[in-house]
Amino acid sequence: MRYLLLLVLFGVGNLYSQDTTSLLGYYVDEFDGTKTLISPVTNFFTDGGDLSNEGLVLQPLVREKSGKLKMTSLMLFVFDKVVRCVGEGDILTIIFNEGGKIELKSWNKFNCDSPAKSYFNLSKNDLSELESKTIKGIRYTEMRKFKTITVLKNVTEENSLYFNNIFNEINGVNNGESVIKVIEE
């Protein structure tokens, strides 16, 4: 009888256990308790570059509303010898291993920050493609001088699965299967 009770308690405990996210996390402000949701970045090293500090760094912006997470846009940092400035209307093209592509236009003002950064809104269709497909390559086109940065040969498996892994965590949190980890500073 004791074994049956332990088995039932162990089974119920496992039924309600939740995983903790490994990619998404919160920073909690020690002064006022505000939570800031952080999503991971991934580095795409430029084809023909030095494989250490030339390329593109992507970071999805994920928001929490009414207890649900949603990816809303992308932030892109540009590290390149040729493209030093970015601006409104620049294009980020993502092609997929399964076929198809999405083209995103930046909406931020012209800037030459170090690193230069661009922002891209994501439509429902863009989100669907990013969630269900794997990345084959990306290209950033700076529209003032028509300079491009291409990453096709240097796409790693981690790069290819980047959005799939983030969406898995978002869905896990939204379905109550996972909780967002707290990141210690």
pLDDT digits (tens, 9 = 90+) for 153-168: 989 999 999 999 999 9
Question: Greater confidence, 165 or 150?
Answer: 165
Say what the pLDDT of residue 36 is. Answer: 82
pLDDT score of 85: 75
Domain ranges of the chain: 19-182
Cα 65 to its chain centre, rounded Å, is 18
Q: How confident is the model at residue 3 (pLDDT cuts 50, 70, 90)?
A: very low
Q: What are 153-162's contacts with CB under 8 Å, separation 24+?
A: 153/47, 154/44, 154/45, 154/46, 154/47, 154/49, 154/51, 154/55, 155/44, 158/42, 159/42, 159/43, 159/44, 159/135, 160/97, 160/134, 160/135, 160/136, 161/134, 161/135, 162/42, 162/58, 162/135
Least confident of 133-137, 148-152, 158-162: 148-152
pLDDT (tens digit, 9 = 90+) per residue, 5-63?
A: 333 334 444 445 678 888 888 888 888 878 788 888 888 887 777 656 678 889 999 98
**pTM recorded for the entire structure:** 0.82
